[in-house]
Amino acid sequence: MMGIRHLMGVLLLDWWPFIRAVRDPGNRWLTLCNRTERLQLAPDGSGAKCQWRWTSELHAARVMPSLGRRLLNRALKAAPIAFSDTFAGTMDKAPEVSVVIGHRGLTRLPLLCTTLKTLAAQRDVAFECIVVEHSEAPEIEEQLPRWVRYAYVKAAPGEPYNRSRTFNEGARLAAGGCLVFHDNDLLVSQSYLAEVARQCHEGFEVVNPKRYLFYLNEADTAKILERASAIIFNLQSSIFNTLPVPIMVLQNATGGGSLGVSRAAFEAVGGWDEGFEGWGGEDVDFWDRLQTRKVYPFGCFPLIHLWHAPQPEKKPEKDSPAMRRLEEVTRIPIEDRISKLLKKSGGSTSFPLSEGGIRE
């Protein structure tokens, strides 16, 4: 009965506004949200900011999955995702942007390699990519493209994965003035990094380019992993006869997933808090501290989240060590959090090189 009520509500209240938005030739597709939610549009209408704190799922796309596919289709027309096995950019100029990706284990290596293919296809921006592996022994270096810089941070036996540590290490090694902290399972549009660089050039210190995260199921993810090839191609036309139906469409992914930060802002807020071990919480804390800087909050890009099994360390989600630490940390005023991290690093985020090394 509840399912019928939700379906009737979507048909009566959401379906036609949804269809009009995805059919509109402009940026109206960026304005789709749940009925009780409110958006703030960028001054030029090119992006939208969610006016609520926590990530939310797009209800209409959950109740009628075909609407999620329509939105994905419209989003990819506006911001195509392409793949390449070869680096499409230039290596003869200093990078404007340094993409930092943390990683552990072989299970997610195919996701990482496919994410790197979408980064290799980036246009109109000079960038580098640093993959930092945090594990008891190095495993993935030889599997990475040669254009990717590889760094290894040794983990003690049984030590949980520390995403913050990989990001701090990557930032220390990065040459770009703008740092993009990016997950190893998110596919990005060809103009993604160029837009982050543009906003940084405009004077913004923090750029959150994400508007929607489209989560794929296991079968559709496997199809992408299998078919992503050496030739640059558009996701819409080269893998699927029809686009996949997302199992979930998320909004308001603020600090999580992918985030652009100037080096000056990164250093000013104390970098990532390495006290978070395992999965979760560190991105919320980092985002909170970044609110003390000049933020461009208007998301305009679709990102595709590749399927993977849930992280065991996240269960139970509200009672994991990382989430318990987040609860403790958020009781501390933001300025005090920043001061504590800066004091810990000696007033600098130029952290000493961890045991391991880097491939240049």
Q: Sketch out the chain's domains with CATH numbers.
A: 82-359 (3.90.550.10)
Pick from 21-35, 85-99, 133-147, 307-321: least confident: 307-321
Average pLDDT on 226-242 reads 56
Indicate the pLDDT class of residue 217, thresholds 50, 70 and 90. very high
Percent of the chain residues past pLDDT 90, beyond the cut: 76
Give the whole-angstrom CA distance, residue 162 versus residue 175: 22
Two tokens, residue 21:
């938005």
- The pLDDT tens digits for 170-181 are 999 999 999 999
* Cβ-count burial 322-354 (b if 16+ within 10 Å, e if not): bbebbeebeeeebeebbeebbeebeeebebeeb
Kindly report the average pLDDT of the chain as a whole number. 90
Please give the average per-residue pLDDT across 49-53, as a whole number.
94
Residue 240, pLDDT score: 52
Q: What is the largest CA-CA distance in the chain?
A: 62
pLDDT beyond 60 at 238: no
- Over 60: is that where the pLDDT of 231 sits? no
CA angle in degrees (0–180, nearest 5) for 241-247-250: 115
**Residues in CB range of 175: below 8 A, 6 or more apart:** 94, 95, 98, 128
Question: Does position 353 have pLDDT exceeding 60, yes or no?
Answer: no
The Cα–Cα gap between 152 and 359 comes to 9
**74-110 residue pLDDT tens:** 999 999 999 988 886 666 679 999 999 999 999 999 9
Is residue 292 within 8 Å of 205, Cβ to Cβ? no
Residue 232's pLDDT band (cuts 50, 70, 90): very low
pLDDT-wise least confident of 3-12, 136-145, 311-320: 311-320
107 vs 351, which has greater pLDDT? 107
Specify whether the CB–CB gap between 13 and 33 falls below 8 A: no
Q: What is the pLDDT of residues 263-291, one digit of tens each?
A: 999 999 999 999 998 778 999 999 999 99
The answer to whether residues 139 and 133 touch, using CB atoms and an 8 Å cutoff, is yes
